[in-house]
Amino acid sequence: MQVYRFLDIGTSTPAPDQQQAVPHHVLSIINPDEDFSAAQFKQKAREAIADISCRGLLPLIVGGTGLYIRALTRGLFSAPGKNEALRQEFKEQAQREGIASLFKLLQEKDPVSAQKIKPNDIVRIIRALEVLYLTGVPISAHHQMHGFLDAPYDVLKIGLTRERNELYQRIEARVEHMLAAGLLQEVQSVLNKGYPSVLKSLQSIGYKQIAAFIEGRVSWDEAVQQMKKETKRLAKRQLTWFRHDPEIDWIVLPQEAQAIPALIKNFLKPKLN
């Protein structure tokens, strides 16, 4: 989400003084009505990594979007592009018969993908069906054949976690901080620029709820509670995703923070000899 311009508070984009202290890359590079994919992120991030490395510096990849990190470190299979006509057919079927009908079709055609996709995730359901209908091969098989073998980097992965209750308390405090920092004004400003609330970028956590409040569809208290609830759900999904990555060294904060320098030193030591 930090790739979008104008969406700073709700995405916790580093402040100008933070960006001056430590150079950041691939931030605020597209408008809210532009599409952005894991493949585009991979390209932009690899360009930044090459630039940083050429200057003799060590790039740090920071974030919580699992698919984007995997795309960067292990690549993506060459998927077919969008087929708007086919997507429209699936959308119309969902409107006539419900999302459940599409999910049932996916279960029949690609049960492996159906186990990994939520029954109400219409975007991923349609994409999986689209790839299947365009290539004749399930998207799960494409992933398996590719094996994510495009791995150009030697990577140290450090995962940060906290005790669940403390994590949820910090999430609630983070939401309150964003609201105090002017999230309402930021969303109103974006809407005033002519960007509709139905855009994918404005359907993300925080922007979706505040836009709904501005448009009179929910109360302020409802918007805030939904933000906190959805952020907790996101954190849970992130942990589930990353727990399946055996390469991650997990650090429980704050008590294990002192172990991070040793991990980095041991990782870099063979390269410095």
Higher-pLDDT residue of 79 and 252 is 252
Q: Which of 154, 152, 168, 148 is nearest to 67 (CA)?
A: 148
CB neighbours of residue 45 within 10 Å? 20
- When pLDDT is cut at 50, 70 and 90, the band that residue 27 belongs to is very high
CB neighbours of residue 253 within 10 Å? 14
Q: For residue 150, what pLDDT is reported? A: 67
Q: For residue 71, what pLDDT is reported? A: 87
Integer Cα distance of 22 and 71 in angstroms: 24
Q: For residue 79, what pLDDT is reported? A: 67
Q: Which of 40, 15, 13 is nearest to 27 (CA)?
A: 13
Angle at which helices 207-214 and 183-192 cross, to 10°: 70
**Greatest Cα pair distance in the chain:** 65
Return the amino acid letter for 40. Q
**Average pLDDT rounded to a whole number, residues 15-22:** 94
CB neighbours of residue 132 within 10 Å? 20
Q: For residue 140, what pLDDT is reported? A: 79
Encoded tokens for 229: 């609830």
Model confidence over 154-194: pLDDT tens digits? 999 999 999 999 999 999 999 999 999 999 999 999 999 99
Encoded tokens for 49: 């990594």
Integer Cα distance of 151 and 156 in angstroms: 13
Q: Which domains does the chain have, with CATH numbers?
A: 84-146 (1.10.20.140), 156-273 (1.10.287.890)
Model confidence over 240-251: pLDDT tens digits? 889 988 899 999
Q: Long-range pairs for 270-273 at CB < 8 Å and ≥24 separation? A: 271/154
Integer Cα distance of 189 and 7 in angstroms: 10
Q: For residue 148, what pLDDT is reported? A: 52
Mean model confidence pLDDT for the chain: 91
H helix runs in 32-138, sequence order: 38-54, 66-74, 84-97, 99-109, 111-116, 122-135
The answer to whether the CB of 94 falls within 8 A of the CB of 120 is no
Model confidence over 110-161: pLDDT tens digits? 998 899 898 988 988 998 999 888 888 888 777 666 555 567 889 999 999 9
Q: Is 239 exposed, middle or buried (0-12, 13-18, 19+ CB in 10 A)?
A: middle
